[in-house]
A and B are shown apart, each in its own frame.
Chain A
């Protein structure tokens, strides 16, 4: 076979000094037009990314303080304690976290991490930054809708933050906001929460419409469905989940808002010993209605947290094994099935609400079935490694870290999925351990991988490899030291959402009864908390690396520093307004690495089979 002559993208003409593109191609305008009210998908993506990272950090900060209370219940929090008291007043009297404050922080940690950090990062930022580039589009289909999406997110975030400083403080009924507690709890924070959620839902909705329309309409010529990078597929399915699962939560939010402000009784039965804000409850409502509507969103939502992560990991694994991913079509089909099934498993969060046999059988079965496409996706990714020529750069380390971490998280979903074993594990730290394995060393690692990987595309500079690796190894160790013991605590029966870390249920406090948590289990609390704070420190190399590299990092050797095949690497760096200098055309699948007979070990998607004649 004859080697096909190829254009060397490293020598491609559009590698030119960074910044030049922006001058010539940006629609020009003031600072405000360019960076704040921009309609360019890349600027919006970066807005999402920065805001999302700040919220990620903030959500983590809440947890560092909660972990103090768990490790040393009733003791004043060092450093932050006086600060809390100064800002929040009595709920942090003497710098000690009251149960009310613990509940607020817990609810807001969950809400912020899910809706204000991970979704905006994994979907808002990554879909915006990468999808149009990977499909060869000049921008999103609806740039102004895109801007509105970010703005709605921002407003929602501000409302959520504002709720911390109102009298009574932020929402206290968990991120799940179950009524009647959510309705009767003595703070308007819950009302803020609901209104904030309405903005966040609107934001996701606008983003989802945009991503779907963009993928359907703006694919470059030749980029048909089975040539899409898996990342695009993942974002595409994610967008459908957001589009269809969020509105029912919005309807539930409207009803809860009515319960709070118009004194309706959608979720309140008659005869409650606690009453609504004005003591009036007409009754006739049903608390389970909320739970159904909430989980109808929240289960698909957890796949919103994971699918983009899988997409990122897939890109990076293909790139750094220098070979195509194994089973591309199985990956896509598994993804589609996963997306579909995720709408019919929600009640596995509600096994203990008095469910009859028929319903529990249905939901157990669907839950177990949905684990199969996940197994397929993981299997494909694992098998993709076989025969590769694996490069261990920082993005790849994080992507590789993702695989077993998601594996542990996913596998621990199984005993929760069987209704029978869930009886023991429900509402224990086993659940906390399960999903944090998926979202923290899972999704967050994938996000880190994506940041290290695409950083040069948008800044023209590389992040530091050494500090990246330090960041990886420390994060990996501490993440496991945090979440592994939680699985044991859960097995032993430690309950979640305990403002005292379970001290009241410990054998030390209840010597008279069987079932108290042993000293050994209780001591894990302290150990975990130390690991959490260390995990915070482990992020310092990342934060410094991130900002330092942005301005001072070594210049990327070319527009395509990782020698990748997908379209985002075939544009100038950073991509100009309109992304591509000439409309790209696509001739092959996304992962043509190490194609036999080719001189290079990667063949970009837009490279014609024969060199162009001109």
Chain B
């Protein structure tokens, strides 16, 4: 009897479209990926345009580190093309070399990215309590509630960050030597223990002063080690995605991109390792697979080319 039909154009191109099936597949997939990242980029634009003046951080990322990573990815795009070209020229050894390099560069990228993430997760912004210096030299930390009619109302910190005694304490004006309004300490973690936290950073009066790290003033900031005890802290928070919408979109975009890098690395690793057996039996199909993985890799690269200026430079 007749043989069952087989799926055509698995590795040879269909004459009228000039493409084999998987190539159409990957282009379609990439079109949807464009829409996926497009959605996030439009979110970025909307949030940034909607942010009131002076609330969108600038210069919070390390440009040399980002540039290095950009170079790493672009190089990997070149090696992946070389790998494919090697297959086309039937040079399996060279393919192994270039694809191995691509994999290595991918892992380098992920490594550098993790370093940058680590840097943010150990970067703290500590809002300090108001400080009441009494005439007898004692200091208390807490919230200044009111300062009228010769009386200072002050809710005193319980010693836990952000927690205060239920009823504010009353001081006569004469008892109070000085009121220091709550400041902000911003810096990297040096040491953290139950009874204190040490940051290497600087102190500012307003949160807004932390926004532009590209300004002339920001470049002259002196860093020093500052140790804080819990009673001093109104709140303390790392530079995680919860910190503000800039970091939120930064982590979301780069996190999703990093997942793509890892996914791509997985595919590349497979084709470099166990998947390369196909070369022996069906070199044409294997070459197609390398091409497909390369197309995906170029896309991942391209996304980064957009991410880098948008997040690091603008």
What is A's interface to B at a CB cutoff of 8 Å? 24-25, 137-139, 141-143, 145, 205, 208-210, 212-213, 216-218, 243-252, 254-255, 258, 262-266, 280, 282-286, 289, 292-293, 296, 576-583
Contacts and interface: CB of A to CB of B under 8 A. Distances in A.
A121 to B, nearest CB: 22
A205 B256 CA distance: 17
A213 B28 CA distance: 8
B4 A138 contact: yes
Contacts of B252: 254-255, 258, 264, 266
Given A142-B25, A293-B42, A581-B1, 7 more contacts: A138-B5, A141-B21, A142-B21, A218-B7, A248-B36, A262-B251, A578-B5
A483 to B, nearest CB: 33
A583 B8 CA distance: 11
Given A251-B40, A285-B47, A264 B5 contact: no
Interface in B208-240: 240
Interface string B244-259: 1100110110001000
A459 B50 CA distance: 58
A43 to B, nearest CB: 15
Interface string B5-31: 111110000100101011011001101
Nearest to B34: A247
Contacts of B251: 258, 262, 264
Interface string B31-56: 11101111110110011001100010
B36 A265 contact: no
Contacts of B40: 251, 254-255
A212 B32 contact: no
Q: Which of B1, B6, B29, B55 has the most CB of A within 10 A?
A: B29
A217 B9 contact: yes
Contact of B245 (A285, A292, A583): A285
A213 B21 contact: yes
12 contacts: A141-B24, A218-B7, A247-B33, A247-B39, A251-B37, A258-B241, A262-B242, A263-B242, A264-B241, A266-B249, A289-B46, A578-B4
B35 to A, nearest CB: 4
B41 to A, nearest CB: 9
A251 B32 CA distance: 11
Contacts of A296: 39
B24 A284 contact: no
A24 B32 CA distance: 39
B43 A205 contact: no
Contacts of A25: 4
Task: List 4 tightest A-B contacts by C-beta distance, closest first.
Answer: A578-B4, A251-B39, A248-B39, A138-B5
Contacts of A263: 241-242
A246 B32 contact: yes
Contacts of A216: 17, 24
A138 B7 contact: yes
Contacts of A208: 28, 32
A289 B38 CA distance: 13
Given A217-B21, A248-B36, A282 B243 contact: yes
Nearest to A246: B32
A218 B9 contact: yes
Contacts of A246: 32, 35
> Interface SS of chain A: helix, strand, loop or mixed?
helix
Contacts, number: 152
B9 A266 contact: no
Q: Which of A248, A250, A577 has the most CB of B within 10 A?
A: A248
A128 to B, nearest CB: 15
Given A138-B7, A212-B28, A216-B17, A266 B245 contact: yes
B138 interface: no
B32 A583 contact: no
Contacts of A141: 7, 21, 24-25
A266 B6 contact: no
Nearest to B14: A217
A286 B50 contact: yes
B5 A213 contact: no
Given A246-B32, A264-B241, A285-B47, A578 B6 contact: yes
Q: Which of B5, B240, B248 has the most CB of A within 10 A?
A: B5
Nearest to A297: B39
A61 B142 CA distance: 57
Contact of A576 (B4, B9, B14): B4
Q: Which of B1, B39, B40, B42 has the most CB of A within 10 A?
A: B39
A252 B7 contact: no
Contacts of A286: 46-47, 50
B47 A266 contact: yes
Contacts of A582: 2, 5
A75 to B, nearest CB: 44
A582 B35 CA distance: 40
Contacts of A217: 8-9, 14, 17, 19, 21, 24
B31 A264 contact: no
Q: Which of B17, B32, B40, B245 has the most CB of A within 10 A?
A: B32
A210 B46 CA distance: 33
Given A24-B1, A286-B47, A139 B7 contact: yes
Contacts of A289: 43, 46-47
Contacts of A577: 4
A245 B35 CA distance: 8
Contacts of A579: 5
B295 to A, nearest CB: 14
A567 to B, nearest CB: 12
Nearest to A579: B5
Contacts of B33: 247
A293 to B, nearest CB: 6
A141 B23 CA distance: 11
A580 B252 CA distance: 48
Given A205-B32, A255-B43, A218 B25 contact: no
Nearest to B35: A247
Q: Which of A208, A245, A255 has the most CB of B within 10 A?
A: A255
A244 B35 contact: yes
Contacts of A252: 39, 43
Interface in B157-180: none
A75 B19 CA distance: 63
Given A247-B32, A248-B35, A265 B248 contact: yes
Nearest to B28: A209
B278 to A, nearest CB: 15
Contacts of A249: 39
Nearest to A205: B32
B224 to A, nearest CB: 27
Q: Which of A25, A212, A284 has the most CB of B within 10 A?
A: A284
A382 B244 CA distance: 56
A244 B39 contact: no
A573 to B, nearest CB: 16
A262 B24 contact: no
Contacts of A284: 47, 51, 55, 244-245
Nearest to A206: B29
A195 to B, nearest CB: 15
Given A247-B32, A250-B39, A213 B25 contact: yes
B55 to A, nearest CB: 7
Contacts of B4: 25, 138, 576-578
Contact of B248 (A143, A258, A576): A258
Nearest to B245: A284
Interface string B173-189: 00000000000000000
